[in-house]
Amino acid sequence: MQELQSKYTSVEFAERYHYSGGDLGVTYHPTKSRFRVWAPTAEKVVLVTYPTGNDSYGEHHPMQKSEKGTWIAELQGDLHGVYYTYQVTTPDGCGEVVDPYAKACGVNGMRGMVVDLERTNPDGWSEVKTAPLAHFTDAIIYELHIRDFTIDQTSGVVNRGKYLGLAEIETYSPQKLATGLSHLKELGVTHIQLMPCYDFYTVDESKLDQLEYNWGYDPQNYNVPEGSYATDPYHGAVRIREFKKMIMALKEHGFRVIMDVVYNHTYLSKNSHLNKLVPGYYYRQDAHGNFTNGSGCGNELATERFMVRKMIIDSVCFWAEEYKIDGFRFDLMGLFDIPTINEIRSRLNAIDPSIIMFGEGWVGGHSPLPDYLKAIKGNVRQLPGTGVFNDDIRDAIKGHVFFADQAGFVGGATGMEESIKCGIAAATDHDQVDYSQVLYSRFAWAGEPAQAINYCSAHDNLTLWDKLQQTNPGDSVEQLIARHKMALAIVLTSQGIPFLHSGSEFLRTKNGHHNSYNEGDEVNKIDWSRKARYFQVFRYVQGLIQLRKHHPGFRMRTADEVRSKLRFLSMPAGHMVGYLITGADSEPWDQIAVIFNANEVPKTVALPGEDWVVVVNKEQAGMMPLETIKVRYVTVPALAAYILVDGASFWRQFVN
């Protein structure tokens, strides 16, 4: 096996078999279709066509050897809707596989489908416009799971749990409050991040009445929408059309769309389509031929190999161009080699440089890819235009992600101030941040603010609300709500890019469940009745979003700007962080003071000036005046965020 791995990475193999053409998969034409598959170690390849995506006999068509290890076949006629596989014979045996470049498939993704993508376009698709994005730091990302978001009856959605459900507008909860897409508009975020919605393995699309559930981090077909979110998973064009209708609806209402993509591993290993097609090539293996497990899921793709890299890049570009996707969140991006990530960035820049790109800057287990080649957080300065999740601020805000009862700053933990400041400065080099005291980093890892994705909760682990109940079990509901609001205030006012977990704006709970990837609707669903129950929290988050969107001081574009215009204030006690934003770029306001008090008693803070207007206090957030202060001191209540604006520039905006 070591000999085979050496062969795959040799110069001779590259010169002989690296195929750079753009026609892998099916090239469709109304009168004929050409099939091309890369299988350099195959002794024979047969194209098998089927009238349906399951339960039918196939017709065999021998393929011919072609250039650079590819095999081709051409069939006459209009093949739109014809299903197909490849029967591949290698020294390891004979197996039937789905085309890695398949763009449509049948039920459960076991057969590819020839598709005329023009026929899948909803009316008006070609006229769909994407909302402008001047800079990545203008993004406010909202992560949701397509099924979770509308599956509960409280959503008022007709097509609950489906692509079409997320496309419905003017849906309401029993309390007559906006849900679904209407709620997203009301909230004001800019980007909707969809948890995995390519074709994944672990939900049986033929048994949707059995209420199977999964987050989808178990890839099967990278270029095909998942069938369980479609109204009909059997006919391959349906899921594509409905996926496009969802994208179209989101874009028509001003949202940009991010896909959560999992190119670091596949659900199956030895028996995967990729491994049966070219045994041993697509995956990293050790000297004994065992699949290495840097993903924690049984295998990891060898992104550094030319044809693996090409497959991933071609897939990302396909989603960006065919489906008008505006961003990509890479699961376990640390398993990618740096050149692959930079090549993806370069290719996306050629399509649309405003397409956002970020990922998890870590791995899920030991990988043979050397650390200096990994696209991890510590190497992000080598990834211009790509960001990573900021786990420093995540755990500083709420406490350790893997230890449920370990608190963070908002829960009263000691020694979190420098980590909070690191997040506020977007992990860039700032002379007032002591990186020796930061949780996981000992240096400013971000080159520019947009490389830091700031968050305190996501789909993984406990929700923020559940976490706070674990860290502060003796608190009243009012105290827990105060801590929750302060946590989101830190995220939404920090430099960099803020990221919100769906439902956190009304205290989403999973009743104490951690990684609920397969725990069903009862645990994972969004309960829209909570929006009415905690409407004040929703309005508070809505106000913070409005504040951030309207004031560039919270969205600085360069590290130099952050260093010069954001200066931390001296605090009277521990468990506090405060700072001042100054400079013309913060117009219409000249000075903005932000103070976080995680103490359980009020604290008085000295301000640089004697005329201030409070726009965020413990109860409310937004751009309207809540209180005026005519002295140099402000008393910040316990467990509260306070944001103040200098009075002169605040009132000037109403005159001009």
Residue 78, CB-side half-sphere exposure with 13 Å CA sphere:
4
* Cα(208)–Cα(39) distance, integer angstroms: 35
Q: Residue 103 has what DSSP assignment?
A: S
Torsions phi, psi of 628, nearest 5? -110, 145
Give yes or no for a contact between 143 and 227, defined as CB atoms under 8 angstroms apart: no
* Cα(469)–Cα(615) distance, integer angstroms: 28
Per DSSP, helices labelled H in 377-528 are: 391-398, 417-424, 464-471, 477-493, 521-524
Q: Residue 245 has what DSSP assignment?
A: H
* Cα(62)–Cα(78) distance, integer angstroms: 19
Contacts of residue 372, Cβ cutoff 8 Å, sequence gap at least 6: 379
Give the strand pairing for 219-225 and 256-261: unpaired
Strand partners, 580: 567, 593
* Cα(514)–Cα(589) distance, integer angstroms: 42
Give yes or no for a contact between 299 and 364, defined as CB atoms under 8 angstroms apart: no
Q: Residue 3 has what DSSP assignment?
A: H
* Cα(534)–Cα(464) distance, integer angstroms: 14
Give yes or no for a contact between 279 and 285, defined as CB atoms under 8 angstroms apart: no
Give yes or no for a contact between 601 and 574, defined as CB atoms under 8 angstroms apart: no
What is the number of H-type helices and E-type strands within the chain? 18, 27
Strand partners, 291: 285
Tokens 């594509």, residue located: 240
Tokens 């790109």, residue located: 357
Annotation says 331 is catalytic? yes
Give yes or no for a contact between 84 and 112, defined as CB atoms under 8 angstroms apart: yes
* Cα(481)–Cα(476) distance, integer angstroms: 9
Q: Give the CA distances from residue 561 to residues 41, 258, 572, 643, in Å, rounded to whole numbers and listed in that order.
A: 54, 27, 27, 20
Contacts of residue 574, Cβ cutoff 8 Å, sequence gap at least 6: 414, 417, 599
Residues belonging to the chain: 656
* Cα(167)–Cα(52) distance, integer angstroms: 29
Other Cβ atoms closer than 10 A to 502: 24
Torsions phi, psi of 296, nearest 5? 75, 5
Q: Which residues of 205-222 are buried (b: 16+ CB within 10 A; e: fewer)?
A: beebeeeebbbbbbbbbb
Annotation says 360 is catalytic? yes
Q: What angle do CA 474, 475, 476 make, to 5 degrees?
A: 125
Q: Classify residue 109 as left (phi > 0), alpha (psi -120 to 50) or beta.
A: left
Q: How far is CA 2 from its chain centroid? A: 36
Tokens 């809707």, residue located: 81
Which pair of tokens denotes residue 121? Answer: 């376009």
Active-site pick, 99, 152, 205, 360: 360
Which pair of tokens denotes residue 631? Answer: 């002295």
Active-site pick, 205, 242, 300, 331: 331
Other Cβ atoms closer than 10 A to 123: 8
Query: Could you tell me the end-to-end alpha-carbon distance of the chain, in angstroms, rounded to an integer?
Result: 74
* Cα(405)–Cα(289) distance, integer angstroms: 41
Catalytic residues: 331, 360
